[in-house]
Structure 1
Amino acid sequence: MRIDLLTREYPPEVYGGAGVHAAELTRALRRLAEVRVRCLGAPRGEDQTHAYQPPTDLDGANAALRFLGADLRIAADCAGADVVHSHTWYANAAGHLAGLLHGVPHVMTLHSLEPLRPWKAEQLGGGYALSSWMERSAAIAADALIAVSGAMREDVLTAYPEIDPERVHVIHNGIDTEVFQADARTDALVRFGIDPELPIVLFVGRVTRQKGLPHLLRAAFELRPEAQLVLCCGRPDSPAIAAEVAGLVAELTRARRGVVRVDGMLDGRSLRQLLTHATVFVCPSVYEPMGIVNLEAMACGTAVVATAVGGIPEVVEDGGTGLLVGFRPGPDGTGEPADPGQLAAGLAEAVNRLLDDRDLAELFGAAGRRRAVERFSWTGVAERTLRVYEKLVG
């Protein structure tokens, strides 16, 4: 069987969980079948991996329209595939068109949903309407959809009630626990100016409304004064969220010591060291279909504090591998909390509890490692995904 896997992100151009998923699923699937990757961006040197750039005659056009231009070329090149499998709206149109053009099944993995990310309009302008149309059209027509959590499946069926529930399969994200495991070295901490002897509260994520960083920054005013707050920030979605976060970081730095900001994607070794030495990893997301980064922290033996949104409760066991903080969305449809002060207070309380009780934090970390090993292997993800393909192609 030949599978053409379509994705925007693929190593080395990975900036989020969907890119990690695409890379790890490909690696595991290639042990079972022929997989050709069709991604966006610069040329890759990997065999059977093809990269595409938007057409130059669309230079200067809205970003969503430019991605659609690249999708047309991807769809044309999928001739000969038995199945096409797309990831995120950037590649969903390519999968939809390839399925129609070549008469093969189209499988979509849904890592998030455009209707539940209204802040994307801040980033894409009118392109948000286009990205929403691409996702919706592809999802309604897809032969099978894979949701990365049970909560995500419910969101899919709510957002797109036209979809037959029988077509939506739950296959959780995975984690490579041989790669993500404790690393006692401290050279990365020293390089970033982090004291390994002091407690560390760690955030890793993009600067986007979805990841909830402003809520953690407001909570940080109430964290134990001896704790260091380490913020590993990916690129901002928009100037507005970049400015808001920069302002909060500056205000927090004036109020307390030990605030360390690291901008840009971390290399694997640095990420593992930071996760290993963190006393608490914090995921303050307002929307998270699953959250691979929580699995990465757990696999490194670190306790997690996270908001109880989306698929996070399917990963982080409240009172077992970490602490979950309640989240109630506001009525305005923005995805922001109804009471931001309450959320910040909840995050501060949970983090402080683990800062005050290091034994409990260590117990949670050890349990998180066991859960990651036992429940979330990429081999299992690939095998379950292959069964979806096989059912479609007979």
Structure 2
Amino acid sequence: MRVGLLTREYPPDVYGGAGVHVEFLARELRPLVDLDVHCWGEGRTEGVTRHSSWSALDGANDALRTFSVDLAMASALQGRELVHSHTWYANLAGHLAKMLYGIPHVMTAHSLEPLRPWKAEQLGGGYALSSWAERTAAESADALIAVSGAMRQDILDCYPALDPDKVHVVHNGIDTTLYRPDPGTDALERLGLDPRRPYVLFVGRITRQKGVPHLLRAVRDIDPAAQVVLCAGAPDTPEIDREFRELYEELSRVRDGVFWIPKMLPRPEVIQLLTHAAVFVCPSVYEPLGIVNLEAMACGTPVVASRVGGIPEVVADGETGLLVPVDDGFEAGLTRALDSVLADPEGARRMGEAGRARAVGEFGWDAVARRTADLYGKILEQA
């Protein structure tokens, strides 16, 4: 079975959950299928072809530049029996390959453009193009994979023309041999954290979706003994970057022990930070699943997260962490939940242990890859 896996992000250029998903899915798929990965970038290595946007479009809208990458990907897919695209950045390439070569297209939805209207702030008129590309690909795909049950419902709500039988749930996974508690503290020491004080940890991009402004306001009022560590980079727009910086500076004036790490840390350092955090916080206002919560749980850390999307399918409220409704009292709810975990170290330890057990038992990447390969087989049988 010759499969083309299409994505924007692929190591070493991974900055979000979709990239993490593709990285580990590809690793586990390789023993099961003949896999060729097509991603953004330059050059080719064994099993990976990278594609760049056309130089003639330098300075053009990002959506147009993305489409030029999609055209390059589509032209390189001859000989594949099936293509599998991830995110709108690659969906059009999958759709074009389906039409050009007469092969099935499987599409994994990690998020949905109609549910991210703030993307217009980033893409301008390109948001209409990204939305068109996603809708066109989704409505003609042979199968769609939703990364959670909540995401499946979102897909059917956004695209009612779809046949529900074509939309399958395959949860995101986690490598629990890689993401596991690390007793080392060298990374914490390099960053200047006080080992005598607990800390709240956020890891994610600076976007409206991730709810970072809500978090910065919420942690103003948590236990003053706690440190706050923000591994936050890759702002979507200058506007959200400016808002983040203003809120961060304001927070730093009213409490000490606030650390902002704007660069992407090596994975071992992130794992060490996750391991030693008193609590991990995920304040997303939209989240189809939230791989980062799985990463924290696999490291034995309790999670405080928003009750949106697929997060409740990962974080068991009261067992592996606490869930906070996204309503008018969201920020105050985050404050209360964080303080509750910080005030009960023994309860936090039990939540962390339960989270590790849940990650190991229910979210292995090997199972994700087998279910995905099985779906490929069924689609090819029907083709």
Pick the TM interval, shorter chain. over 0.9
Q: Which residue of 1 aligns with 2:27?
A: 27
* CA distance in structure 1 between the partners assigned to 2:11 and 2:47 by the alignment: 14
Post-superposition shift, 1:42?
3.0
2:362 aligned residue (349, 358, 375): 375
Aligned partners of 1:196 and 1:277 also within 8 Å: no
Q: Which residue of 1 aligns with 2:257?
A: 258
| Normalised TM-score (structure 2) | 0.99
Find runs of 4+ consecutive structure 1 residues off by over 4 angstroms.
Answer: none
Q: Which residue of 2 aligns with 1:89?
A: 88
Match of 1:36, SS state, is strand
* CA distance in structure 2 between the partners assigned to 1:272 and 1:321 by the alignment: 18
* CA distance in structure 1 between the partners assigned to 2:286 and 2:315 by the alignment: 15
Alignment pair present for 1:356 and 2:360:
no
* CA distance in structure 2 between the partners assigned to 1:327 and 1:58 by the alignment: 40
Q: Which residue of 2 aligns with 1:334?
A: none
Q: Which residue of 1 aligns with 2:103?
A: 104
* CA distance in structure 2 between the partners assigned to 1:299 and 1:44 by the alignment: 33
* CA distance in structure 2 between the partners assigned to 1:234 and 1:161 by the alignment: 35
Post-superposition shift, 1:276?
0.3
* CA distance in structure 2 between the partners assigned to 1:264 and 1:131 by the alignment: 27
What are the ranges of 5 or more consecutive residues in structure 1 without an aligned counterpart?
329-338
Q: Which residue of 2 aligns with 1:183?
A: 182
Post-superposition shift, 1:359?
0.4
Q: Which residue of 2 aligns with 1:289?
A: 288
Match of 1:211, SS state, is coil
* CA distance in structure 2 between the partners assigned to 1:72 and 1:168 by the alignment: 26
* CA distance in structure 1 between the partners assigned to 2:113 and 2:43 by the alignment: 28
Between the aligned residues of both structures, percent identity stands at 61
Matches within 5 A, 1:224-303: 224-303=223-302
* CA distance in structure 2 between the partners assigned to 1:188 and 1:126 by the alignment: 42
Aligned partners of 1:282 and 1:304 also within 8 Å: yes
* CA distance in structure 2 between the partners assigned to 1:189 and 1:159 by the alignment: 43
Alignment pair present for 1:138 and 2:169:
no
Alignment pair present for 1:393 and 2:359:
no
Alignment pair present for 1:365 and 2:352:
yes
Match of 1:214, SS state, is helix
Q: Which residue of 2 aligns with 1:39?
A: 39
* CA distance in structure 2 between the partners assigned to 1:118 and 1:365 by the alignment: 35
Q: Which residue of 2 aligns with 1:336?
A: none
What are the ranges of 5 or more consecutive residues in structure 2 without an aligned counterpart?
none
Q: Which residue of 2 aligns with 1:322?
A: 321
User: More deviation in 194-203 or 356-365?
Assistant: 194-203
Q: Which residue of 1 aligns with 2:167?
A: 168
* CA distance in structure 2 between the partners assigned to 1:323 and 1:32 by the alignment: 38
* CA distance in structure 2 between the partners assigned to 1:56 and 1:357 by the alignment: 56
* CA distance in structure 1 between the partners assigned to 2:169 and 2:147 by the alignment: 6
Match of 1:118, SS state, is coil
Q: Which residue of 2 aligns with 1:122?
A: 121
Letter in 1 for 2:13: E
Letter in 2 for 1:190: E
Query: CA-atom RMSD, angstroms?
Result: 0.7
Q: Deviations over 1:200-232 (max 9, x none)?
A: 100000000000011111111110000000000
Q: Which residue of 2 aligns with 1:63?
A: 62
Q: Aligned residue pairs: how many?
A: 381
Post-superposition shift, 1:196?
2.1
* CA distance in structure 2 between the partners assigned to 1:230 and 1:43 by the alignment: 36
Post-superposition shift, 1:44?
5.0
Match of 2:305, SS state, is strand
Q: Which residue of 2 aligns with 1:18?
A: 18
Q: Which residue of 1 aligns with 2:75?
A: 76
Q: Which residue of 2 aligns with 1:218?
A: 217
Q: Deviations over 1:326-364 (max 9, x none)?
A: 123xxxxxxxxxx2xx11100000000010000010000
Q: Deviations over 1:254-298 (max 9, x none)?
A: 101110000121111110010000000000000000000000000
Post-superposition shift, 1:197?
2.1
